[in-house]
Structure 1
Amino acid sequence: MTLLALFIAPPAQAGDPLTEKSAGRKYALQSRAATDKAGKKMCVSTEINDAGNQAGKLRARTNCENPGSLGSWETFTLHTNDKGSRAALRSEANGLYVSAEFHDTGSHMGMLRARQDGAIGNWERFELVPQGDWFALKYNFTEGGTSKDYYVSAEINSTGSDEGLLRARATGTPGSWEQFKLVEIPSASSPPTTASTPERKINVLTWNACSNNSKCKIYEYSVDSFTQAVTDWASQAKADVILLQEFCEKLAKPLEKKLEADLNGGADAWDVRFAPIQHQIGTTKHWAQKSCAKNRGAYGVAIAVPAENTWYNALELESPTNTERRTALCAAIQSWAVMACTAHFSTGGEGYDDEDRNQQKAQAAFLAEKVDHEGYRAVFGGDLNATPTVTPTGSNLPVLLSLYHTYKECDDPLNRATAGNSKLDYLFAPPSGAWSGCTVGTTAWPSDHKPVWGTVTLAAR
């Protein structure tokens, strides 16, 4: 952070609409030392109603015996832009990253505030240091050639609005005031029940948009140009469902608005959801969302479905150790009895994350099982990073056999190339469905993958 920024730090803001479409893990931050009068553990809240340089301050002050009852003030997500060495906290209350405020003085020096709207910087990075079943948040403050580590404390002996205030200020061995626990907030476990539906035709598009790869032309696109590129392919495909990979979180809301403006349906016709790819945080069991460049939030996959969608779920794909943890995302279209899912598998082959491709094989088997929900017909696909015939080390059976065994692929048996000379992008539907008009885009530009689309006719159920 520049010296100038020390004195003109941006204020905390109310709700950031560009981060509200994410299906990633969400946490409450529980303090070990802070308890209520009954001895119940307290969780940290973001005080977004405070003003001035107090806006967005973090305080351990909410009973969290029941994590499912907590609201956005007590909800955080974890993010990383250094592959998990350190983590940033982002408040769900205002969509802003938590900073350690070392420009303040006195009792507020090092105060934690959710107020950073830009990219993750040094003020927003914390190391999670294990303390048995708890952990300490260690912050490194560097200025003028000096460097010093501080642990975050919950100031439980303060009074009034400073009671339980979180400050990076302890320098000794972490005690109970400096110990915290991340408590995962539960999400809805089952999609809504469906009714019988008639035969239905659905136009489905999948595209690896390459929005975070500087080698792709689309990386340099403005938000408006990016959403135009997706909408152009969606218009050509007459898409009802859009599956996207290599997508940046803060593009979801603008894309939703662009689809509603340019495609049939009008306002409130589309719902675009996002799920992050993650990195493990140090040696902990916690995972943080990988950051996109250009301050575009997290990096992962997205899905665009009709706006009736109310249930969506991120499926974390077990991935090779010390690599990106890949993901899939499903969204229920209840009136169609369709479960639409997008996925991005680990990169396989010599020199890549999954050299022997056995993890890809496991990801395919997991996806084949998890997209199946009672009463729903699964329509899914994405960038699976494997050709139809490639096999894992020690086997002569294809990596994607479990998917082909259970579902019908749009471009089978043509298997036209979608990335370079290889077919890596897929669309699947139930075997009772019938694909027609399966099309591979004429160009990959401005991405490095060609889009794939087709029409699936789903039998009545």
Structure 2
Amino acid sequence: MRRSTRTGALLGLLLTLLTLSIAPSAQAGDILTEKSAGRKYALQSKAATDKAGKATCVSAEINDAGNQAGKLRARTDCTSLSSLGSWETFTLHTNDKGSHAALRSEANGLYVSAEFHDADPHFGMLRARQDGSIGDWEQFQLVDLKDGWYALRYNFTEGGTSRDYYVTTEVNSTGSDENLLRARTTTTPGSWERFKLVEIPSSNTPPAAASTPSRTFNALTWNTCSNNSSCAMAGYTSAQFASAVAQRASSAQADVIFLQEFCEKWAKPLEQKLEDTFDQGADTWDVRFAPIQYQVGTTGQWAQKSCSNNRGAYGVAVAVPSENTWYKAVELTSPDDTERRTGICAAIPSWAVMACSAHFSTGGRDAEGKPYDDPDRYVQQAQASALAQQVGSYSGYRPVFGGDLNATPTVKPTNSTTPVLQPLYDAYKESDQPANRPTKGSNKLDYLYASPSANWSLTVIGSNTGNPSDHQPLWSTVGLPAR
């Protein structure tokens, strides 16, 4: 276990907030994306599969030298997905709400580029090598060929000329170029241009929860407004962000932390800062991330929304003791053609606690009557029902969860008498009832919930003074009976 639980520690609110300590940010090229619970894919090539007579998937050849490093080649037997490693694992990302998708290699954390500056025979070669944000060379259209396969189409514009190229598996090449992936075909896609995105499954079953005595610990939730230019946090470095969160975690003496509007590449720096703040750098915290997504075109495939300024994907996070080895994204059905909202759950087996963070779709209308994503709030209510069911579905675990649910306790869907969040109140105990104090402006949008047998005490709404977010942090002490 990380450390003893600090009872009564929420009195730290009375302390004056410390000045942010700012450390150097992570170096470019560091792999800071391994903390993510987002969907992961293998990319199967039809041409290479037909040639080999067995399912064959694409590898990013990270160990190659020079301008061959990270080249994509269809050469790995993927009959069994469990045998695949990071070289064969990719994630999908978008910076234009799903109009295009970028591939990112799990092996080096870099986006795949189409190398149009190279001469034949490598013109248009695909390489996992882009260390910055998604640019023109990393944007592909995912074309559904209606037979279970997709084509990857790249639009190359130069000197006023625009041309579409389809990614091809070069099955007739030899040596190190055999089955190389190149964006070079301008005609109708054939078998060489067909690929399949095969989702790599994650475990649905956490490790067995332990029997445990009664336990009291502190939980903190905060929407950090990390990707909204109107908030100071959006301009922070990873070190500034980690310091801001650790500062509030210290005031709360938090044992678990739920974060929303979070950028993926900040998970590892935050984990390290929490360890420095609480435990002199010992390996005591685990920070995990899950992405908000957009559908790629009309394909039914989903790509992770990107944070600005090369900070990885955008979504939610949870920080728990480092004993955690199991975590899972909780995808929430969302209104069509909008962000697919999400949650993340992480297991703490010795506590028999499942800790989950979530962020609901925006509901209602703005001051001028313009609709948000879910103007009638029926989807929000469905998200509440789904979250209530999911967090309570892990056998032996007591749920403790929180987040920005984008609804006040009493708001109702249009023409309904049942509040949006009633499914959560029916099944769980909320930390700030009956006070229901506001956490954003004059509205209560942020919540902490726990099992019906839990006892919440000393709930605190953090000060707005010096707050770099448009939400105030919320923290509380929760007591759980023996299990």
Scaled to the shorter chain, the TM-score interval is over 0.9
1:25-424 aligned within 5 A: 25-35=39-49, 39-132=53-146, 133-264=148-279, 266-350=281-365, 351-372=371-392, 373-424=394-445
TM-superposed deviation, 1:221: 1.5
- The one-letter code sitting in structure 2 at the alignment partner of 1:337 is A
Corresponding residue number in structure 2 for 1:6: none
TM-superposed deviation, 1:41: 2.0
- The one-letter code sitting in structure 1 at the alignment partner of 2:183 is A
Q: Give the TM-score taking structure 2 as reference length.
A: 0.91
TM-superposed deviation, 1:356: 0.6
Cα distance in 1, alignment partners of residues 77 and 216 from structure 2: 49
Are the counterparts in 2 of residues 41 and 63 from structure 1 also a CA contact under 8 Å? yes
Corresponding residue number in structure 2 for 1:455: 477
TM-superposed deviation, 1:17: 2.7
Cα distance in 1, alignment partners of residues 214 and 417 from structure 2: 38
Which range moves more in the overlay, 132-141 or 109-118? 132-141
Cα distance in 2, alignment partners of residues 14 and 384 from structure 1: 34
Q: Give the TM-score taking structure 1 as reference length.
A: 0.96
Are the counterparts in 2 of residues 100 and 123 from structure 1 also a CA contact under 8 Å? yes
Which range moves more in the overlay, 219-228 or 208-217? 219-228
Residues 394-418 of structure 1, C-alpha deviations (whole Å, 9 max, x = no match): 2110000010011000001100000
SS at match of 2:173: coil
TM-superposed deviation, 1:267: 1.7
Cα distance in 2, alignment partners of residues 164 and 105 from structure 1: 18
TM-superposed deviation, 1:320: 0.0
Corresponding residue number in structure 2 for 1:433: 454
Cα distance in 1, alignment partners of residues 342 and 49 from structure 2: 37
SS at match of 1:113: strand
Are the counterparts in 2 of residues 72 and 92 from structure 1 also a CA contact under 8 Å? yes
Are the counterparts in 1 of residues 60 and 72 from structure 2 also a CA contact under 8 Å? yes
Greater relative contact order, per chain length (Cα 8 Å cut-off, separation 6+): 2
TM-superposed deviation, 1:14: 12
Q: What RMSD in Å do the two structures reach over aligned CA positions?
A: 1.3
Residues 310-369 of structure 1, C-alpha deviations (whole Å, 9 max, x = no match): 000000000000000000000000110000000000000021000110000000000001
Cα distance in 2, alignment partners of residues 82 and 448 from structure 1: 24
Corresponding residue number in structure 1 for 2:16: none
SS at match of 1:315: strand
TM-superposed deviation, 1:69: 2.0
Are the counterparts in 2 of residues 36 and 63 from structure 1 also a CA contact under 8 Å? no
What are structure 2's unaligned runs of at least 5 residues?
Answer: 1-26, 366-370
Where in structure 1 do 4 or more consecutive aligned residues deviate above 3 Å? 13-16
Are the counterparts in 2 of residues 16 and 96 from structure 1 also a CA contact under 8 Å? no
SS at match of 1:19: coil
- The one-letter code sitting in structure 2 at the alignment partner of 1:19 is T
TM-superposed deviation, 1:382: 0.2
- The one-letter code sitting in structure 1 at the alignment partner of 2:223 is N
TM-superposed deviation, 1:36: 7.1
Identity %, equivalent residues:
71
Residues 234-277 of structure 1, C-alpha deviations (whole Å, 9 max, x = no match): 00000000000000000000000000111136321100000000
SS at match of 1:353: coil
Are the counterparts in 1 of residues 29 and 131 from structure 2 also a CA contact under 8 Å? no
TM-superposed deviation, 1:15: 8.0
Which range moves more in the overlay, 312-321 or 14-23? 14-23
Cα distance in 1, alignment partners of residues 177 and 29 from structure 2: 23
